[in-house]
Amino acid sequence: MEDTQSLPPPSPARHLVAMVYDLFLVVAVVAVVNALALGVQAQFGGEHLLSPVAVQVLTVLSVWGFFCLFWHRNGQTLGMQAWRIQLVADDGGAPGWTASLKRCAAATLSLACLGVGYLWRFFDARKRYWHDHLSGTHLVQLPRRGE
């Protein structure tokens, strides 16, 4: 693995496009989780076996699981791989499970605050989001192969 400390952050446009790529995958994951939840509910015959809150919790956990698995494995979701973006720990290493979970929770907070945590990038000297600061991770733009 190359030295990630000297790599620049991705542009906002590049990161946004990578997030759109991942959105398609996340929607599929959420659809599968909800279909499984409905299947379990139908199998056991209870109309109220899974409350709407339980389904919402399953949805959030499935989204967090998607990102945590990819970030822990190699610091990249499929959208990030396509756009050469990588998540790294502030020490330059790979993000662990704890950092990945913190990032998911903090990104949820960033969104819940009307997206202010995402807009923070435009005011931060190092171009980092709230969830970068709160999780001890940050995004880098990987060079093209051979560069």
Within a domain: 30 = yes
Distance CA 43, CA 27 (A): 24
Instruction: For residue 110, give the nearest of 125, 88, 130, 86 by alpha carbon.
Output: 130
Range of the domain at 36: 12-141
Please report which confidence band the pLDDT of residue 47 belongs to, taking 50, 70 and 90 as the band edges: low
Specify if 130 maps to a domain.
yes
75-127 per-position pLDDT tens digit: 999 999 999 999 999 998 999 999 999 999 999 999 999 999 999 999 999 99
Any domain includes 3: no
pLDDT of 46 reads: 67
Give 3-43 pLDDT, tens digit per residue.
677 899 999 999 999 999 999 999 999 999 989 888 888 88
pLDDT at 1: 47
Q: Specify if 4 maps to a domain.
A: no
Helix axes 12-43, 52-74, angle to 10 degrees: 130
Q: What pLDDT score does 145 carry?
A: 85
Nearest Cα neighbor of 29 from 1, 3, 67 is 67
Does 64 reside within a domain?
A: yes
**Which tokens belong to 25?**
């995958």
In a domain, 146, yes or no: no
The number of folded domains in the chain is 1
Q: What is the 3-state secondary structure (H, E, C) of 83-137?
A: CCEEEEECCCCCCCHHHHHHHHHHHHHHHHCCCHHHHHHHCCCCCCCHHHHHHCE
Give domain status of residue 2, yes or no: no
pTM, two decimal places: 0.90
